[in-house]
A and B are shown apart, each in its own frame.
Chain A
Amino acid sequence: MKKDQVRILCPNGHMGFAPTKEESFWIGADTKPDYYCCDSGSDDIGPNPLGSDTSVSPYEWQKHDLELMLLAARKQGVPMLIGSSGDTGTNSRVDLYVQIIRDLAKKHRLLPFKLVSFYSEVEKSYLKRKMENGDTVDGLEDRSDLTMEELEKTDRIVALAGVHPFIRALEMGADVVIGGRSSDAAIFAAAALFEGFPENHAYYAGKVLECASFCAEPYMAKETVIGTVTSEDVKVTAMHPEQRCTIASVAGHAMYERSNAFFEYFAGGTLDMTRCRYEQFDERTTRVTGQIFIPTKGKIKVKLEGSGKIGERFIGIVGIRDPYTIQNIDKVIDWARSQVEERFKGQIYQLFYHIYGKNGVMGALEPIKEIKSHELCIVTEGIAPTKDVAEEVALIGSRQIFYARLPEVKGTAGTAAFLVDSVLPAPPAYMWTMNHVMPVNDPLEFIRFNEFTI
């Protein structure tokens, strides 16, 4: 029998990245929600984790957050849905989360349950075949359509799953779903759609819940919120005793991390929020109506994220206190650059100077041009195909600040203070090579499922 409403708990906007706060989680769990849903990924963290197939979240935090949800969901016997496992949602991260669930089940001696996991990583050969068959992989946000050359520069690709694999997993009888890279909102929308609620409200619920307590005020991260979906509306309630979901906080969240506050695109359609009406339902709850989901006409398009390695990287850290050197910092940097170029002329390398105290944070966007600092910190970033060259680029680029040739400098025993007298290995440099969409005949065609009884 169809429920009158479905209540979905979200404990964290990016599971594992910082630990879920427990007090509001258990307050929420005590209200016995119908689903526990959470996204564990983000493209905010830059291209390195995807390219190198690593997590930026510590294992202990990932385990902590999964443990809370697993224990609460199994105690109640309701489903738990996780998307974008391990920050990037690659296959290895899905396997990691499945193993954590296995270990937790053993530790707590949980009764047997069904786990369905799915992969959403995409092989280069699969995209190549599509392109050879005449499909276009469209660039998003002013990027050109994908070329074979750009594809070759890519090391790893994930596709952002929509609601489809989550719904299929629930149809398979899953108690726990561990997903590859997914649209964050799709995880929540899938639960509401599976329970038979309309697309308008299901997708809006996903959109508002995906960042957990960021849709509430005052500002507190990693606190639990609960969304209630009916056939008429969506209500969202803060669980932390000091937080409230207000009209301003809920409406304001619609535009968070998005270029546009009115539209949100998914594999399968667009959520139109231009006619949303917000009402204060009770002290901690806002009710939203008027949202519309417009299904895609023609082939569904699925978003792709791709990352490719640029090179090995070392960084140097240099301090400057001499006021004359500070005022002439551009000349100092030109000198150091020229010394690197003299050594590596004609070779592939990149050298960046981040001058904190001048424009280290904003670079070219910094409107303040005059340096007012009495000291500067310069971070030298050297990148090259091999570690040896990257190290030497960073080292010459740093050490030559010490030997800069300024005509009137008083401090002729060196114009730089070194924190360490060498350079430090940094994670390799990667680049987002793909921010594209691919057409699919079936939204599950790139998905691979695994079923386990745990």
Chain B
Amino acid sequence: MKTRKLVELAKTIRSKNAGTDRITFDIIFNEKENYELVKKSQALTLETVAKLFGVPESRISDFLEFDPAYAIKFTIKREQPSGSPGDPDIFGCQQYPPLLDLEVPVP
């Protein structure tokens, strides 16, 4: 099957703290076509992102598709609150890169 990397399809791929205990991830598309394509492909689901980041599905607190912004969004529970001893990313803003290379099946 032909695939394309998520980085080629999305406009924005980012991560950021959502409060002190979670990191939220946004994948935003420029137009409806790519958004619908990724939604239908099942490449980006609660199960696939849990696997990608190596966490149990119970650590994904939210996974939602947000039509008004052509966006897919999910949130990972941190093991320790942000900025706790040993936390390497206080803002949680460098946790998205594994998403860039995610292979999305395309027609």
Chain A residues engaging chain B, CB cutoff 8 angstroms: 43-48, 140-143, 247-248, 251-252, 254-262, 276, 278, 305, 310-311, 313, 350, 352, 354, 360-368, 381, 383, 429-432, 435
Pairwise interchain contact B17-A261, C-beta atoms closer than 8 A: no
Minimal Cβ-Cβ distance residue in B for A369: B54
Residue among A46, A262, A361, A364 facing the most chain B CB atoms (10 A cut-off): A46
**Known contacts A367-B53, A431-B85: A141-B61 contact under CB 8 Å:** yes
Alpha-carbon separation in the docked complex, A100 to B77 (Å): 39
Alpha-carbon separation in the docked complex, A260 to B62 (Å): 7
Chain A residues closer than 8 Å to B81, beta-carbon distance? 47, 431-432, 435
**Known contacts A141-B61, A247-B68, A367-B52: A362-B94 contact under CB 8 Å:** yes
Alpha-carbon separation in the docked complex, A435 to B78 (Å): 13
Pairwise interchain contact A141-B69, C-beta atoms closer than 8 A: no
* Interface size, chain B (Cβ < 8 Å): 45
Chain B residues closer than 8 Å to A43, beta-carbon distance? 17, 19-20, 82
Chain A residues closer than 8 Å to B61, beta-carbon distance? 141-142, 259
Pairwise interchain contact B90-A141, C-beta atoms closer than 8 A: no
Pairwise interchain contact A141-B98, C-beta atoms closer than 8 A: no
Give the shortest distance, in Å, between B59 (CB) and chain A (any CB): 10
Pairwise interchain contact A46-B82, C-beta atoms closer than 8 A: yes
Pairwise interchain contact A255-B83, C-beta atoms closer than 8 A: no
Q: List 30 A-B contacts (CB under 8 A).
A: A45-B90, A46-B83, A46-B90, A47-B84, A141-B21, A142-B77, A143-B21, A248-B30, A251-B68, A255-B71, A255-B73, A257-B16, A257-B17, A257-B18, A258-B24, A259-B61, A261-B66, A305-B20, A352-B85, A360-B88, A361-B94, A362-B88, A362-B95, A365-B55, A365-B76, A368-B98, A431-B81, A431-B83, A431-B84, A432-B20
| 4 extra A-B contacts, CB within 8 A, seeds A46-B87, A251-B69, A431-B80 | A48-B83, A140-B19, A260-B62, A278-B68
Within 8 Å by CB of B89, from A48, A248, A252, A362, lies A362
Pairwise interchain contact A435-B20, C-beta atoms closer than 8 A: yes
**Known contacts A260-B64, A367-B53: A252-B22 contact under CB 8 Å:** no
Pairwise interchain contact B79-A364, C-beta atoms closer than 8 A: yes
Pairwise interchain contact A256-B16, C-beta atoms closer than 8 A: yes
Binary contact track B1-43/A, C-beta < 8 Å → 1, others 0: 0000000000010001111111010101010000000000000
